[in-house]
Structure 1
Amino acid sequence: MTNLKRSEMRLIDSALGMGSGYVLNFSDRTFAEFFDDEFRIDVDQQRYKTRGTSKANRLRSFIDQEDEHLVARVLRRLWKEREEIPVFRDADDHGSLKIKLFELIATIEGGAAVPRTDVIERFTRDETLEELVPTFLGT
Protein backbone atom coordinates (compact mmCIF):
# COMPACT_ATOMS: atom_id res chain seq x y z
CA MET A 1 0.00 0.00 0.00
CA THR A 2 1.34 3.38 -0.99
CA ASN A 3 0.70 6.23 1.45
CA LEU A 4 1.18 9.58 -0.22
CA LYS A 5 0.79 13.07 1.16
CA ARG A 6 -1.78 15.26 -0.58
CA SER A 7 1.07 17.37 -1.99
CA GLU A 8 2.65 14.25 -3.51
CA MET A 9 -0.66 13.23 -5.07
CA ARG A 10 -1.04 16.77 -6.47
CA LEU A 11 2.37 16.34 -8.13
CA ILE A 12 1.19 13.12 -9.78
CA ASP A 13 -2.06 14.86 -10.78
CA SER A 14 -0.07 17.65 -12.41
CA ALA A 15 2.46 15.36 -14.11
CA LEU A 16 -0.25 13.16 -15.61
CA GLY A 17 -2.81 15.84 -16.45
CA MET A 18 -5.36 14.48 -13.98
CA GLY A 19 -7.02 17.74 -12.98
CA SER A 20 -10.34 17.19 -14.76
CA GLY A 21 -10.68 13.44 -14.23
CA TYR A 22 -8.55 12.43 -17.18
CA VAL A 23 -5.16 10.76 -17.25
CA LEU A 24 -3.05 12.15 -20.09
CA ASN A 25 -5.04 11.65 -23.30
CA PHE A 26 -6.48 8.22 -22.50
CA SER A 27 -10.06 7.33 -23.22
CA ASP A 28 -11.76 4.85 -20.88
CA ARG A 29 -11.03 2.09 -23.40
CA THR A 30 -7.36 2.98 -23.98
CA PHE A 31 -6.76 3.46 -20.25
CA ALA A 32 -8.05 -0.05 -19.56
CA GLU A 33 -6.02 -1.42 -22.49
CA PHE A 34 -2.87 0.31 -21.22
CA PHE A 35 -3.15 -1.34 -17.80
CA ASP A 36 -4.00 -4.71 -19.31
CA ASP A 37 -1.25 -4.63 -21.96
CA GLU A 38 1.51 -3.25 -19.75
CA PHE A 39 0.73 -4.83 -16.38
CA ARG A 40 -2.03 -7.44 -16.89
CA ILE A 41 -4.24 -5.46 -14.50
CA ASP A 42 -7.96 -4.86 -14.92
CA VAL A 43 -8.15 -1.23 -13.83
CA ASP A 44 -11.94 -1.33 -14.23
CA GLN A 45 -12.32 -3.59 -11.19
CA GLN A 46 -14.64 -2.28 -8.48
CA ARG A 47 -11.72 -2.06 -6.04
CA TYR A 48 -10.18 0.73 -8.13
CA LYS A 49 -13.41 2.75 -8.10
CA THR A 50 -13.36 3.58 -4.38
CA ARG A 51 -12.63 7.25 -5.11
CA GLY A 52 -14.91 7.43 -8.16
CA THR A 53 -15.11 6.12 -11.70
CA SER A 54 -13.06 8.68 -13.64
CA LYS A 55 -9.69 7.58 -14.94
CA ALA A 56 -7.95 9.93 -12.50
CA ASN A 57 -9.90 8.55 -9.55
CA ARG A 58 -9.27 4.96 -10.60
CA LEU A 59 -5.54 5.74 -10.80
CA ARG A 60 -5.66 7.40 -7.37
CA SER A 61 -7.42 4.33 -5.93
CA PHE A 62 -4.85 2.09 -7.61
CA ILE A 63 -2.02 4.11 -6.03
CA ASP A 64 -3.72 3.90 -2.61
CA GLN A 65 -4.10 0.13 -2.75
CA GLU A 66 -1.12 -1.35 -4.57
CA ASP A 67 2.40 -1.98 -3.37
CA GLU A 68 5.15 0.57 -3.84
CA HIS A 69 7.09 -1.27 -6.52
CA LEU A 70 4.05 -1.71 -8.75
CA VAL A 71 2.98 1.90 -8.26
CA ALA A 72 6.49 3.07 -9.18
CA ARG A 73 6.49 0.89 -12.33
CA VAL A 74 3.11 2.26 -13.39
CA LEU A 75 4.15 5.88 -12.78
CA ARG A 76 7.36 5.42 -14.79
CA ARG A 77 5.43 3.87 -17.66
CA LEU A 78 2.79 6.61 -17.58
CA TRP A 79 5.56 9.22 -17.72
CA LYS A 80 6.99 7.47 -20.77
CA GLU A 81 3.53 7.67 -22.32
CA ARG A 82 3.40 11.40 -21.44
CA GLU A 83 6.66 12.01 -23.25
CA GLU A 84 5.14 10.66 -26.47
CA ILE A 85 2.32 13.24 -26.43
CA PRO A 86 3.50 16.56 -27.94
CA VAL A 87 1.19 18.83 -25.92
CA PHE A 88 2.54 17.37 -22.66
CA ARG A 89 6.15 16.88 -23.80
CA ASP A 90 6.41 20.46 -25.06
CA ALA A 91 4.92 22.06 -21.93
CA ASP A 92 7.08 24.66 -20.20
CA ASP A 93 7.16 22.71 -16.93
CA HIS A 94 8.02 19.34 -18.51
CA GLY A 95 11.61 19.21 -17.24
CA SER A 96 10.87 20.33 -13.70
CA LEU A 97 7.87 17.98 -13.44
CA LYS A 98 10.01 15.08 -14.59
CA ILE A 99 12.63 15.75 -11.92
CA LYS A 100 10.02 16.09 -9.17
CA LEU A 101 8.07 13.02 -10.29
CA PHE A 102 11.15 10.81 -10.44
CA GLU A 103 12.26 12.04 -7.02
CA LEU A 104 8.82 11.04 -5.73
CA ILE A 105 9.07 7.65 -7.44
CA ALA A 106 12.43 7.09 -5.73
CA THR A 107 10.83 8.01 -2.40
CA ILE A 108 7.96 5.61 -3.05
CA GLU A 109 10.38 2.79 -3.80
CA GLY A 110 12.51 3.65 -0.78
CA GLY A 111 9.46 3.33 1.42
CA ALA A 112 8.73 -0.17 0.23
CA ALA A 113 8.40 -2.88 2.79
CA VAL A 114 11.57 -4.66 3.79
CA PRO A 115 11.71 -8.05 2.07
CA ARG A 116 10.80 -10.94 4.33
CA THR A 117 13.65 -13.31 5.07
CA ASP A 118 11.82 -15.52 7.54
CA VAL A 119 10.57 -17.67 4.67
CA ILE A 120 14.08 -18.57 3.55
CA GLU A 121 15.39 -21.77 5.01
CA ARG A 122 18.68 -21.60 6.76
CA PHE A 123 21.48 -23.26 4.80
CA THR A 124 22.88 -26.42 6.33
CA ARG A 125 25.85 -28.33 5.14
CA ASP A 126 25.10 -31.60 3.46
CA GLU A 127 27.92 -34.04 4.13
CA THR A 128 26.91 -36.16 1.15
CA LEU A 129 27.81 -33.32 -1.18
CA GLU A 130 31.21 -32.87 0.45
CA GLU A 131 31.86 -36.59 0.02
CA LEU A 132 30.91 -36.46 -3.67
CA VAL A 133 33.02 -33.47 -4.65
CA PRO A 134 36.39 -35.31 -4.57
CA THR A 135 34.86 -38.24 -6.49
CA PHE A 136 33.36 -35.91 -9.08
CA LEU A 137 36.59 -34.02 -9.54
CA GLY A 138 38.52 -37.24 -9.96
CA THR A 139 40.64 -36.93 -6.85
Structure 2
Amino acid sequence: MGNMNYTAEVLHVPLLLASAAPHLALTPAFASLFPLLPQDVHILNRARPDKRRLGNLAEVDATTLTPELLLTIRCLVSGLSSLCEHLGVREECFAVGSLSRIIAADLANFAPAKNRRKTATGRASVVFVDRTLDLTGKWRLLWKAS
Protein backbone atom coordinates (compact mmCIF):
# COMPACT_ATOMS: atom_id res chain seq x y z
CA MET A 1 0.00 0.00 0.00
CA GLY A 2 2.95 2.30 -0.04
CA ASN A 3 4.15 4.74 2.60
CA MET A 4 1.88 4.69 5.67
CA ASN A 5 3.45 7.78 7.29
CA TYR A 6 0.98 10.54 6.59
CA THR A 7 0.55 13.82 8.37
CA ALA A 8 -2.74 15.58 8.80
CA GLU A 9 -3.37 18.98 10.29
CA VAL A 10 -6.75 19.31 11.96
CA LEU A 11 -8.08 22.77 12.70
CA HIS A 12 -10.99 23.28 15.06
CA VAL A 13 -12.86 26.53 14.72
CA PRO A 14 -15.95 26.56 16.92
CA LEU A 15 -18.85 28.54 15.55
CA LEU A 16 -19.54 30.47 18.71
CA LEU A 17 -20.79 33.87 17.62
CA ALA A 18 -23.12 35.33 15.04
CA SER A 19 -22.86 39.04 14.36
CA ALA A 20 -26.32 40.60 14.58
CA ALA A 21 -25.15 44.21 14.31
CA PRO A 22 -21.79 45.99 14.17
CA HIS A 23 -21.38 45.90 17.97
CA LEU A 24 -23.71 43.02 18.89
CA ALA A 25 -22.88 39.32 18.75
CA LEU A 26 -25.19 36.44 19.68
CA THR A 27 -24.39 32.82 20.55
CA PRO A 28 -26.79 30.67 18.49
CA ALA A 29 -24.93 27.48 19.48
CA PHE A 30 -26.27 28.01 23.00
CA ALA A 31 -29.86 28.86 22.06
CA SER A 32 -31.06 25.97 24.22
CA LEU A 33 -29.40 27.53 27.27
CA PHE A 34 -32.52 29.15 28.65
CA PRO A 35 -32.39 31.14 31.91
CA LEU A 36 -33.66 29.67 35.13
CA LEU A 37 -37.23 30.44 36.11
CA PRO A 38 -38.63 30.59 39.67
CA GLN A 39 -40.21 27.13 39.30
CA ASP A 40 -36.76 25.69 38.44
CA VAL A 41 -35.75 26.16 42.08
CA HIS A 42 -38.06 23.28 43.00
CA ILE A 43 -36.46 21.07 40.33
CA LEU A 44 -32.99 21.91 41.64
CA ASN A 45 -34.09 21.13 45.19
CA ARG A 46 -35.41 17.72 44.12
CA ALA A 47 -32.13 16.94 42.36
CA ARG A 48 -30.19 17.55 45.60
CA PRO A 49 -32.33 16.17 48.44
CA ASP A 50 -29.50 15.81 50.95
CA LYS A 51 -28.30 19.42 50.65
CA ARG A 52 -29.55 22.79 51.84
CA ARG A 53 -32.85 23.83 50.26
CA LEU A 54 -32.87 26.82 47.92
CA GLY A 55 -35.51 29.46 48.58
CA ASN A 56 -35.33 31.55 45.40
CA LEU A 57 -33.23 32.22 42.29
CA ALA A 58 -30.92 34.60 44.15
CA GLU A 59 -29.55 31.64 46.13
CA VAL A 60 -28.66 29.60 43.03
CA ASP A 61 -24.96 29.41 42.16
CA ALA A 62 -22.77 27.10 40.06
CA THR A 63 -22.55 24.48 42.81
CA THR A 64 -26.34 24.05 42.88
CA LEU A 65 -26.82 23.48 39.14
CA THR A 66 -27.35 20.13 37.47
CA PRO A 67 -24.24 18.59 35.86
CA GLU A 68 -25.73 18.96 32.36
CA LEU A 69 -26.44 22.67 32.79
CA LEU A 70 -23.04 23.24 34.37
CA LEU A 71 -21.32 21.51 31.44
CA THR A 72 -23.16 23.73 28.96
CA ILE A 73 -22.15 26.83 30.91
CA ARG A 74 -18.51 25.69 31.04
CA CYS A 75 -18.50 25.19 27.25
CA LEU A 76 -19.83 28.72 26.76
CA VAL A 77 -17.28 30.15 29.19
CA SER A 78 -14.43 28.30 27.50
CA GLY A 79 -15.49 29.58 24.09
CA LEU A 80 -15.78 33.17 25.29
CA SER A 81 -12.40 32.95 26.99
CA SER A 82 -10.83 31.63 23.78
CA LEU A 83 -12.42 34.47 21.82
CA CYS A 84 -11.03 37.05 24.26
CA GLU A 85 -7.61 35.41 24.04
CA HIS A 86 -7.71 35.53 20.24
CA LEU A 87 -8.68 39.21 20.34
CA GLY A 88 -6.09 39.97 23.03
CA VAL A 89 -8.57 41.64 25.35
CA ARG A 90 -9.33 41.62 29.05
CA GLU A 91 -13.07 41.41 29.57
CA GLU A 92 -15.26 43.27 32.01
CA CYS A 93 -18.41 41.24 32.64
CA PHE A 94 -21.83 42.64 33.45
CA ALA A 95 -24.82 40.42 34.17
CA VAL A 96 -28.57 40.98 34.16
CA GLY A 97 -30.40 37.96 35.56
CA SER A 98 -29.65 34.95 37.72
CA LEU A 99 -28.15 32.61 35.10
CA SER A 100 -26.19 35.47 33.56
CA ARG A 101 -24.70 36.17 36.98
CA ILE A 102 -23.55 32.55 37.23
CA ILE A 103 -22.01 32.62 33.74
CA ALA A 104 -20.20 35.92 34.42
CA ALA A 105 -18.83 34.59 37.72
CA ASP A 106 -17.69 31.37 36.03
CA LEU A 107 -15.86 33.39 33.36
CA ALA A 108 -14.25 35.57 36.03
CA ASN A 109 -13.02 32.47 37.90
CA PHE A 110 -11.94 30.51 34.79
CA ALA A 111 -8.27 29.63 35.38
CA PRO A 112 -6.97 30.18 31.81
CA ALA A 113 -8.77 33.54 31.74
CA LYS A 114 -6.93 34.70 34.85
CA ASN A 115 -3.58 34.15 33.11
CA ARG A 116 -4.80 35.81 29.91
CA ARG A 117 -5.97 38.94 31.72
CA LYS A 118 -2.47 39.60 33.04
CA THR A 119 -1.01 39.95 29.53
CA ALA A 120 -3.97 41.33 27.56
CA THR A 121 -3.52 44.83 26.21
CA GLY A 122 -7.08 45.66 25.15
CA ARG A 123 -10.35 45.81 27.04
CA ALA A 124 -13.83 44.60 26.18
CA SER A 125 -17.17 44.82 27.94
CA VAL A 126 -19.28 41.66 27.91
CA VAL A 127 -22.94 42.00 28.89
CA PHE A 128 -24.85 38.82 29.74
CA VAL A 129 -28.64 39.18 29.64
CA ASP A 130 -31.16 36.50 30.59
CA ARG A 131 -33.56 36.15 27.67
CA THR A 132 -36.59 35.97 29.93
CA LEU A 133 -35.98 39.53 31.06
CA ASP A 134 -36.18 40.98 27.56
CA LEU A 135 -39.35 38.99 26.80
CA THR A 136 -41.16 40.15 29.92
CA GLY A 137 -42.03 43.61 28.66
CA LYS A 138 -43.46 42.37 25.36
CA TRP A 139 -45.63 39.76 27.06
CA ARG A 140 -46.85 42.28 29.60
CA LEU A 141 -47.89 44.61 26.77
CA LEU A 142 -49.68 41.80 24.96
CA TRP A 143 -51.43 40.78 28.18
CA LYS A 144 -52.69 44.32 28.82
CA ALA A 145 -53.89 44.65 25.22
CA SER A 146 -56.10 41.54 25.51
| TM tier relative to shorter chain | under 0.3
TM-score computed with the length of structure 1 as normaliser: 0.28
Greater share of helix residues, 1 or 2? 1
The structure with the largest alpha-carbon Rg is: 1
Higher relative contact order (CA 8 A, sep 6+): 1
Richer in strand (by share): 2
TM-score (normalizing by structure 2)? 0.27
